[in-house]
Structure 1
Amino acid sequence: MLLLTEINGQNCPMEDERPLSSALVIEPFQGERYPEMPTLTFIFSLCFSLSTAFYFHAGEREEKCIIEDIPSDTLVTGTFRIQQWDTRRHDFLESAPGLGMFVTVTTYNDEVLLSKLYGPQGTFYFTSHSPGEHIICLESNSTRLVSFGGSKLRIHLEIRVGQHDLDAAAAQAKDKVNEVSFKLERLIEQIEQIVKEQNYQRDREENFRMTSEDTNSNVLWWAFAQTLIFIAIGIFQMKHLKDFFIAKKLV
């Protein structure tokens, strides 16, 4: 298995879609957390960004996974679109007719939050129940065998964390909100998400501080125990030498 890790911390704005490979480097993965995951794993951190768009390539029978670090009680929205490689045109088609996409979302506690088959393009939603890393896996439902040369796919993916799709048309129809209030709702929602992210990072910092203090305390006690052991060994050796000299009548 290979693990893809991010080498720069730049965020991708919502309208700036770019190849995922431009921000990642491949290196061996020695972990045993998910031995059944047969393909490549993408690690992609949002770094407090609310929306990230990118694309990547995959085989028709290849599973690709993204790991997102998400606070608790946060709505995550993902939008994807598949393009299929045309061997005659040597270019990607606008869509992938006949193909669908399995989307699976799990936590590191093996809790399945979403497992559903979509069409060649679609939108999925899930809500995090606990803070931490969430694994988003995508795999096409192609029945073509890899050994017979299944074509490659280009998968466009946009991940939005903490954003709700507000229906502006319905709001205007009900005459409850206007354009200004709609933008204000969006702004308030983003502020709440930023506060939630800050609280999550504050909790992580507190856990790290407690772990550091425990480690320093253990090191101090271990040094104290070593000192006592050395003193005891020294006293024992001096007593042993004294008894030896007395037995040999040297003193």
Structure 2
Amino acid sequence: MSTYTWLVCVLILPSISALYFHMWETDVKCFVEEVPDETMISGKYKVEVYDDKSEQFVSKDGIGMHVDIKDPEAKVILSKYYTNEGQFVFTTHTPGEHHICLSPNSTRWFSGGSRLRVYLSIDVGEHANDYKQIQAKEKLSELQLRVRQLLEQVDQITKEQNYQRSREERFRFTSESTNNRVLWWAVAQTSILLLVGAWQMRHLKGFFEAKKLV
């Protein structure tokens, strides 16, 4: 694939993941986002509670969500309580896997509690920006806004390339280190076999000489 085609694919495909999932009030759900450093991540969520009477999921006050985010070094980036619908935003400072964990702020530890449906969308990079708000705040024209979007997309592509390059270097270093260890292990095994063989030959020679067989 040419560089041009690869850039077009990256520009066309947005880095957005949207889903919904079910959980109980005592559950914890975690997601992993592998991103480069200095990358903005925005998450929007909405919590609905299952209503036994209507047999549907409905919005209800009183159930919030605790968001806990850790970087690849297990350092806490964000730990905060939100309402039943909200948004969290943070910027990465370390490249790698970032863990985003959601848990309802329920005190029902000894029962399953209510069944919840959580809608979650995670936007990464320039997709986390609210360009309508930026356009209104900075009074940008449509052309200026589009140029800004393209510049930020190119900047994000550069970050991704640098991150993939660093991953490739780490992988190559690990492969070379593994190959060296395998090589030295083979050399050590061969040396041990040669030493054992020499010792056996010497022992057998001494045995034959003692028995006067040679």
Q: Same fold (TM over 0.5)?
A: yes
User: C-alpha separation between the residues in 2 aligned to 1:73 and 1:159?
Assistant: 16
1:165-213: CA deviations, max 9, x gaps?
23222222xxxx2012112212221221122112111111111111111
Number of residues of Structure 1 aligned to a counterpart in Structure 2:
198
The answer as to whether partners of 2:72 and 2:95 remain within 8 angstroms in 1 is no
Normalising by structure 1, report the TM-score: 0.74
Which residue, out of 112, 116, 119, partners 1:153? 116
Distance 1:145 1:219 in 2: 50
The gaps in structure 1 that reach 5 residues or longer are 1-47
Where in structure 2 are the equivalents of 1:216-235 lying within 5 Å? 216-235=179-198
Counterpart for residue 136 of structure 2: 169
Deviation at 1:230, TM superposition (A): 1.5
Paired residue secondary structure (2:27): coil
Q: Secondary structure at the match of 2:123?
A: strand
SS of 2:73's equivalent in the other structure is coil
1:201 aligned residue: 164
Closer, same or farther in 2 for the Cα pair 1:234/1:113, shift >3 Å? same
| Higher fraction of helix | 2
- The runs of 4+ residues in structure 1 deviating greater than 6 Å are none
Partner of 1:85: 50
Cα distance in structure 2, aligned partners of 1:145 and 1:113: 26
| Corresponding residue of 2:33 | 68
Tell me how far apart the structure 1 counterparts of residues 15 and 148 of structure 2 sit (CA, whole Å): 15
Identity percentage of aligned residues: 48
After TM superposition, give the deviation of residue 125 of structure 1 in Å: 0.9
Matches within 5 A, 1:98-247: 98-144=62-108, 147=111, 150-163=113-126, 164-166=129-131, 167=133, 168-172=135-139, 177-247=140-210
- The two structures, once aligned, show a CA RMSD in angstroms of 1.7
CA spacing shift, 1:242–1:144, aligned 2, 3 Å? closer
Q: Could you list the per-position Cα deviations for residues 138-184 of structure 1 after superposition, in whole angstroms to 9, with x for gaps in the alignment?
A: 1122334552x522111111111113223222222xxxx20121122
